[in-house]
Structure 1
Amino acid sequence: MADDAGEAGPGRATAATPVKGRKASKAARRAQLIEATIDSLAKRGYAETTMADVADGAGLSRGIVNFHFESKENLLIATLQHLADEYVGHWEAAVTKAGPRAADRLWAVVAADFDRRVCTRRKIAAWCAFWGEAKSRPTYQALCGARDDKYQQVVQGILAELKAEAGYGYAPEAMALSLCAMLEGLWVRLMMGGTRREAAWAAAVDDLVATFPKHFGYEGPLAG
């Protein structure tokens, strides 16, 4: 680490090391508590989750939870923010990696919904717990709504490109709403145990093939 004059300062370099360690420890503890909150939401639901449950699930003292989050509401907001950031970052990376073709990007964004990194029963159950509270909690509504709006806008733009390429008769905005609702419904079925992840992905593929026959086959986007 350099001092204010741009030269090495041995004393400050020595002091910096434990600061970095404390910061890393704080971030690790927060992440540990957020994961324990997701577990509790999946197991107990929103109303029955307590800070004591989270502390016990994380294997930490209850004072640690209070130190990092101060209240149950702060802990839950941080957990929802974590889930939203993870979800958005995941599908955005998938779309970027897919490249410029609209069909490749739509396939990627739909496939991302069933990737194990975001599509697990515990995470979906946590999402559903927050969705159930969003109507009466403006902060949750804003976080969930921002995630959904961004996703739907990107999907709508891709669908407009597919329509221009193949002359489909749908309205992109309505089709984006329909596609997003279908994906959300599959997540609910997964959370309820009504189907398995592989079967849900297969159902999504069926929908893509039936709706966009000029762009998709069962193995993925068509060449051309």
Structure 2
Amino acid sequence: MEADVQTETKTQEKRGRKASKELRQMQLIEATIDSLAKRGYAETTLADVADGAGLSRGIVNFHFESKDKLLVATLQHMADEYANHWTAQLEAAGDDPARQLWALVAADFDRRICTRRKLAAWCAFWGEAKSRPTYQALCGARDERYQQTFVSLCVTLKADGGYGFDAEGMALSLCAMMEGLWLRLMLGDGLTRETAYAAAVEFVVAAFPRHFTHAGVLENGRS
């Protein structure tokens, strides 16, 4: 009986240490996102991250060892968050391709994903040449899956609606349009998340008039 108690105590202590480690790592990743948004990729230092997290610089070195490893972990976290988000929204939309496309467009402007600090951090990774091999290694396959999801939906909606566009070209245009709106939001020229989403809706309604109105997805001719 005593041995069982000791074993359970050790297990709980181990879980506690793991939770504490994960908490510290997440604090540092969030501080890295803040620093990337404020200073950019090249100017972000481990000292900046430590100060932003309210932790010692030794803690940063203990968990990540180097700036490169910290940036890789940050990119991994952001990529996981984004992929999990749009995948969940796609699944929640059910089997209807029109609802799936509408959900994917809305997902990009969700307040959990579309914040100025996160957009600025993404742009820091996209704009830094040194990060490109790492970005491709972590995100290349995910980006391809995302693009192919749009292509598949455009193929289906084209056949259903009798549209004359090229499906791959339309999918590329959709993704480029949303990336452009993200960039405009990051630049802070007065565009808001709400107006950016409204602009995306305008594009979708114009491209797929037999499937969408500004109110949403058409069902048997009615939204």
Q: Indicate whether the TM-score tops 0.5.
A: yes
Q: What is the match of residue 204 of structure 1?
A: 200
Q: Does 1:84 align with 2:88?
A: no
Aligned match for 2:119, one of 110, 116, 124: 124
Per-residue deviation at 1:136? 6.0
User: 8 Å contact 1:134–1:141 — kept in the other structure?
Assistant: no
In the superposition, the TM-score normalised over structure 2's length comes to: 0.94
Aligned match for 1:168, one of 157, 163, 168: 163
Q: Which ranges of structure 2 fall in alignment gaps of 5 or more residues?
A: none
The percentage of counterpart residues that share the same residue type is 68
CA distance in 2, matches of 1:13, 1:68: 27
Q: Does 1:65 align with 2:24?
A: no
> Structure 1, residues 85-133: CA drift from partner, whole Å, max 9, x if none?
0001000000100011111000000000000111000000000000012
Task: Please tell me the root mean square deviation across aligned C-alpha atoms, in Å.
Answer: 1.3
Q: What is the match of residue 215 of structure 2?
A: 219
In the superposition, the TM-score normalised over structure 1's length comes to: 0.94
Give the paired residue count. Answer: 217
Per-residue deviation at 1:141? 2.5
User: 8 Å contact 2:33–2:121 — kept in the other structure?
Assistant: yes
> Structure 1, residues 173-214: CA drift from partner, whole Å, max 9, x if none?
111111100000000000001211111000000000100000
Structure 1 residues 136 and 27: alpha-carbon distance in aligned structure 2, compared to 1, 3 A threshold: closer
Residue type of the partner of 1:55?
A
Structure 1 residues 122 and 136: alpha-carbon distance in aligned structure 2, compared to 1, 3 A threshold: closer
Q: What is the match of residue 186 of structure 1?
A: 181
Q: What is the match of residue 95 of structure 1?
A: 90
Q: What is the match of residue 28 of structure 1?
A: 23
Structure 1 residues 191 and 163: alpha-carbon distance in aligned structure 2, compared to 1, 3 A threshold: same
Counterpart secondary structure, 1:202: helix
CA distance in 1, matches of 2:6, 2:138: 43
Q: What is the match of residue 33 of structure 2?
A: 38
User: 8 Å contact 1:134–1:140 — kept in the other structure?
Assistant: no
Counterpart secondary structure, 1:49: coil
Counterpart secondary structure, 1:9: helix
CA distance in 1, matches of 2:163, 2:73: 42
